[in-house]
Structure 1
């Protein structure tokens, strides 16, 4: 039964390759959505079922497709593309990273620097693969519907995990695969990794994603896609059976992934959505809930209540930063900031983040922006941050004049960037291939929409 995951992975690759061959280059999203999302479920299943020799070629499917689409897009250009400010900034960011990889900067060897370069920069290649597409030829609703199908499927798998109180990863060979390929020994109460459990002994479920953290981040992408897909140009949300099922699945996922930052971001996405679409009832409900929440927290911390057990203890320890996870974040942030102050030009690629942890020489971390700063310095860090906030800025502007599928894409990018902001402060979001590839490919497509020639009325709205 578990062999269905590597089968889906392979079939998604073949389907994407077929679409690309037919000239529908956005078809790469089929593989990113249905293949990359369950990559770390498919690979362990193959490993434990006597197919380890297939893993090395399967691992490079996503890079092969991205490079293929980028090259084909370049050759398909009929005119010299007009570049946006975001394009120039990302060119500069990529050049900085390449320079840090080529020059002997830092303590890492050349090979390790190249591995770190892929981790810190390949998503820029993904961006330009989407950037050079003609947005008029992309049926964005189709790919949003695929994300919604994936969301419902993840909810179904999660429901089974919760009902049986067993992680899917306990049956796929996740621990054995991680130890064999990455020398990561099983840890935590469930012999997987500590990310699968939370304070108080509560299980955190990942469905078919790599881990609960990626599951939670994928849910932020999902709720953004649901809201974008079913919101009309007049900002009315269409309640249909599929949209309600998808919303329910996303709520189930964000609850049982039990990750604090994505949970807060999930509600932030809905709040920002209500603001930009002018749903006053939702905004007022959020304000009322916030006031009630603050009063309840004040009550919990008052002398009149000394009950600190279960989920209440998790909540209180999160707020006062007394739980180990929060303390760990603070320590990593302080270490990273001190490193940036001491070495504002960076310590070199591979000195922080996932690659640094693998090499056993990690400095700071647990913050996407600080991880960049530690490795390649404050200039690259601020460029990345500026690009991030430019997407939010242009997302807000674009909602004023974009219509139809362009409006859907604009709302998706805005909500996605808002949603991933909080998790970026507590984790290395770009280390998740599914989240990173989806986010940057669609971001590139969005900039192509921004650069599409407009009529006079549209230009006036843009400049307003």
Structure 2
């Protein structure tokens, strides 16, 4: 099975890579890097696991590891190469640009400062995990896609959402096991990441609930990444459903159904909360107050089910989660308190690669790690955390403004999905190092950059129109 998966993944990744490189290098379409990322990133850890299980070569694994960064960097270089007069390239900085630039500049300063106990190589690797999404945003900020290109982008997102659910069904009803039990996931973690197998399924504790039931991840790295990623699939299906003629929108109902199905299989409490937060935000965007009422009634129905009809195990699982007596919930609180204590004692931060669950952060040095905001706060102080929050918040606001103002339906769809996905991720950001979920993180940052580009264009178009108006 592993050999078959290895051949399939290698062929698909190879074809996608060659097509994207041809478009980028020979035709100057630097923006096409996003197509490779959107195809490759959902299968990233599964690919690495299968590659190591098949070849037992860490060198070959390393080649697959660097593909995502390599394609992004080639995109940046091609962009610079095809600008004949780069010094005259129009730069219209928006709020999100300034905040993100400040965040990345501060990170670079902390890379150079002799601060913290992490090694220089670990700091460099950690900063790479910060700067690459910045490049993705930058390329999105300089992308102008036509209708067909945006349509292709969404087709892939829809395919990922449906494919994830189909694999979930395969895991739950046919294999009766996690896909990761067949792909060499544990072996890859043990040899490459030095992570011992844990839990009752020989993977990690993330793959099971406290009641020792399976939490599925499909082809994603773990259930938490899948749960966060399908939020983007649901948002994409919803906006296409709302902006497509009724006789053609059955497919988007299927996409939303599959996304919700995967969310259930993931058994992620934070993602369930994020879904309701996202629905509430969508209802506000469209003024669908009946949807808010429906959401409230759904929560009420869920509460009634838990209290009167659910099994005793499920009842106490929900109760312990709400009261923070669940071991996982307690773990989150402990990590938050450790991070806050560090930030209070060291308001300027303790250095890069000192917090979070990224691979370059050593376990013995880690302070906190289960809250994306606090992770940056521990490392780069209160300023670093605030710059990240402001970059995220301004990106959501400007994307939403783009959605309201643009007359281009395709661009409006991108802006909607980018803003709604980032809002949906707010709750998981409090309980996980979400920026390491490269598929949903990088693609949504690209969408934010793409939307800010359109907003900048619309704003300047409005300003030019005002200037050309005859005086009275």
> Paired residue for 1:397?
401
Q: Which residue of 1 aligns with 2:469?
A: none
What's the counterpart of residue 189 of structure 1? 200
* Partner in structure 1 of residue 354 of structure 2: 351
Equivalent position to 2:176, from 165, 175, 185:
165
Deviation at 1:458, TM superposition (A): 11
Tell me the SS of whatever aligns to 2:143.
Answer: coil
Structure 1 residue 69, shift from structure 2 partner: 0.9
Q: Distance in 2 between matches of 1:412 and 1:459?
A: 29
Change (3 A) 1:308 1:340: farther
Partner Cα distance (2:329, 2:247) in 1:
39
Query: Does 361-370 or 79-88 show the bigger shift?
Result: 79-88
- Separation in structure 1 between the aligned mates of residue 243 and residue 210 of structure 2, nearest angstrom: 41
2:105: which partner in 1?
Answer: 95
SS at match of 1:333: helix
> Equivalents in 2 of 1:322, 1:237: separation in Å?
46
- Separation (CA, whole Å) in 2 of partners of 1:322 and 1:308: 18
Deviation, 1:150, is 1.1
Q: Residues 399 and 80 from structure 1, CA distance in 2 versus in 1: closer, same or farther, beyond 3 angstroms?
A: closer
Higher mean C-alpha deviation, range 164-173 or range 48-57? 48-57
Which residue in the other structure is 1:320 paired with?
A: 323
Distance 2:317 2:456 in 1: 47
Aligned pair count? Answer: 452
Counterpart among 327, 335, 359 of residue 338 in structure 2: 335
DSSP 3-state at the match of 2:242: coil
Q: Distance in 2 between matches of 1:15 and 1:158?
A: 29
Deviation of 1:295 after TM superposition, in Å, equals 6.0
Verify the 8 A CA contact 1:70 1:132 in the aligned structure 2.
no
Query: Normalized against structure 2, the TM-score is what?
Result: 0.90
Specify which of 422, 432, 451 is matched with residue 417 of structure 1.
422
Q: State yes or no: 1:369 paired with 2:373.
A: yes
Match for 1:257 among 266, 283, 293?
Answer: 266
Distance 1:51 1:180, change over 3 A: closer
Consecutive unaligned residues in structure 1, runs of 5 or more: none
Do the aligned partners of 2:402 and 2:452 also contact (CA within 8 Å) in 1?
A: no
Task: From 208, 211, 215, give the equivalent of 1:204.
Answer: 215
- SS at 1:346's partner residue? coil
Deviation at 1:227, TM superposition (A): 1.9
Using the TM superposition, give the Cα deviation of residue 379 of structure 1 relative to its aligned residue in structure 2, in angstroms: 0.5
Distance 1:114 1:296, change over 3 A: same
Shift in Å at residue 51 of structure 1? 5.7
**Which of 87, 103, 121 does residue 111 from structure 1 map onto?**
121
Is structure 2 residue 36 aligned with structure 1 residue 31? Answer: yes
Q: Equivalent of 1:247, from 229, 247, 256?
A: 256
1:426 paired residue among 413, 431, 434: 431
1:269 and 2:269 matched: no
Give the 3 Å change call, closer, same or farther, for CA 354–447 of structure 1 in structure 2: same
Q: Distance in 1 between matches of 2:253 and 2:392?
A: 30
Which ranges in structure 2 are unaligned for 5 or more consecutive residues?
Answer: 467-472
Q: How big is the shift at 1:33? A: 1.5
Contact 2:42 2:220 in 1 (8 A): yes
1:44 counterpart residue number: 49
| Contact map agreement 2:403 2:413 (CA 8 A) in 1 | no
**Is the contact made by 2:356 and 2:369 (CA closer than 8 Å) also made in structure 1?**
yes
For the aligned residues, what is the CA RMSD?
A: 2.4
Structure 1: how far apart are the matches of 2:363 and 2:23? 38
Q: CA 1:382 to 1:25, structure 2 compared with 1: closer, same or farther past 3 Å?
A: same
Per-residue deviation, 1:16? 2.1
**Distance across 2 between alignment mates of 1:133 and 1:394:** 16
Q: Which segment drifts farther, 66-75 or 184-193?
A: 66-75
